[in-house]
Amino acid sequence: MPTTERTQFKKLEDLPNVGKATAADLRLLGITQPDQLRGQDPLHLYQELCRITGQRHDPCALDVFMAVVNFMEGGPELPWWEFTAERKKTYQI
């Protein structure tokens, strides 16, 4: 699906891999619309979430952020766990 077709996603919960909990995390980060994910750094989102909440979140949250940013930037719809190996290699988290 080309990036231009991503405009059909109006709510965060419409995105693949995003349920109520992830949508709530994204809103804590000031992201309320799917198109705001374009150009975001997933690691920065994860680190900010940990800072804002005062706790270290499961690294799988970073996998989800990687998946949704990639998707909104035109990547394929993949389950979040497809990003686990990349996260471990890139971020050692």
Which pLDDT band, with edges at 50, 70 and 90, does 74 fall under? very high
Give the C-alpha separation, 17 to 72, whole Å: 12
pTM (2 d.p.) = 0.93
Give the Cα separation of 76 and 26 in Å (integer): 20
Q: What is the pLDDT of residues 53-65, one digit of tens each?
A: 999 999 999 999 9
Average pLDDT over residues 69-86: 97
Domain 3-91 in CATH 1.25.40: no
Label residue 4 by pLDDT band (50, 70, 90). Answer: low
- Mean pLDDT for the stretch of residues 41-58: 98
pLDDT at position 3 over 90: no
The position carrying tokens 């949704």 is 68
How far is residue 43's CA from residue 7's CA, in Å, rounded to a whole number?
Answer: 24
